[in-house]
Structure 1
């Protein structure tokens, strides 16, 4: 199973676990408001004053809670799996706090699932890649060295699924004629592309650099509340 709670996120959640249970419940309510309409800076500022801490600490704890809700929904965790994960990542959590978090997640799972599906309805997602190298047979008539060509076929899909829970629906095998009312728009798309080795190497370097930047704290803080 993929890691549900990252070390930095666990540190932020421990701040909530050190508070009374009523505070944890209030933060669960703020997390739902965060998903529906974004961060409420006024309420976070008030909470920071009441808890004698900084605005950044409150916001970090809230975003960690939102990430926990989203990731638990995407992974479709059972109650036993959730309890095992939080007990391993948050050693100080007690039974009552675990129950509060689990009730929070299960009560809003449908809402979060709908929000995630709606947010990616029109986006294309990578599903598969086919590729081949084409070259020329050596010939004395060619005055310059022939450059091989790499041809690629990208299989994309607009269907938003959880890789841990759902599988892409196979193409239906149905020979019955479709009417305008029953005909469904296709979700899959194929994109053909070709390039030379030098450009392919450049693209690989750009993607590797992007992966390195994705591991920086600045990027993690940006994508943490809505990560996938």
Structure 2
């Protein structure tokens, strides 16, 4: 999968071609720090004075670099896909290699920040079930009234302790659920679905 960069984003990153690769690496470090702690105008001003550039140029370059690394990590780009994505910027091979090194070095910390920012959804842990059958009653003479009781255990994103949900359903409802879920699971194994999931990641 390749990143599609907007013209505005390309314009922000174009300033990187006018500075040394060491400055680009420093911009990358600043971008990851800003991702963790938030932006600081003083750092932009100090870098702009040192480079003899405007504060806006430095800020746009750092934020453009932050967005490039963030989107690359979000889509878990391979080295080849990352290099193909930055080729459209028209940078030198040395600068492209510097950007790749930045992506490889900062990918882990950025992904951990993204994981912390994401929603903590409950995850399936286990399922217990029991079949209750009321053999007869005054209201329903000579009829069986089976009910399935399900105990669904869920864990939430590394939190200690399980959440338990109790559900009740008639066997006909459970059979209907099975008839809907089995084709959905079969569809997940198709090559078309695997291709879509690969692009989403």
Q: Is TM more than 0.5 here?
A: yes
| Superposed CA offset, 1:99-148 (max 9, x none) | 111111121212111211211235xxxxxxxxxxxxxxxxxxxxxxxxxx
Which of the pair has more CA radius of gyration?
Answer: 2
Q: Please give the residue correspondences for 1:172-187 in structure 2 after superposition, counting only pairs within 5 Å.
A: 184-185=162-163
Question: What's 1:24 paired with?
Answer: 24
| Superposed CA offset, 1:55-113 (max 9, x none) | 1111111110100111000111111111111102x01x122211111111121212111
Whole-angstrom distance in 2 between the partners of 1:104 and 1:49: 24
Whole-angstrom distance in 1 between the partners of 2:2 and 2:128: 41
Question: What's 2:99 paired with?
Answer: 101
Contact 1:31 1:63 in 2 (8 A): yes
Query: Using a 3 Å threshold, how does the CA distance of structure 1 residues 78 and 32 change in structure 2: closer, same or farther?
Result: same
Higher percent of residues as helix: 2
Task: Report 1 or 2 for greater relative contact order, CA contacts < 8 Å, sequence distance ≥ 6.
Answer: 1
Secondary structure at the counterpart of residue 5 of structure 1: coil
Question: What's 1:66 paired with?
Answer: 66
**Cα RMSD, aligned residues only:** 2.9
Contact 1:48 1:55 in 2 (8 A): yes
When normalised by structure 1's length, the TM-score is 0.53
Contact 1:4 1:71 in 2 (8 A): no
With 13-22 and 69-78 compared, the bigger mean Cα shift is at: 13-22
When normalised by structure 2's length, the TM-score is 0.59
The answer on 1:10 being equivalent to 2:10 is yes
Query: Using a 3 Å threshold, how does the CA distance of structure 1 residues 178 and 65 change in structure 2: closer, same or farther?
Result: same
Listed as ranges, the gaps of 5+ residues in structure 1 are: 123-157, 160-168, 187-228
Secondary structure at the counterpart of residue 112 of structure 1: helix
Question: What's 1:139 paired with?
Answer: none
Report the CA distance between 1:173 and its aligned residue. 7.6
Query: Using a 3 Å threshold, how does the CA distance of structure 1 residues 172 and 95 change in structure 2: closer, same or farther?
Result: same
Whole-angstrom distance in 1 between the partners of 2:15 and 2:85: 18
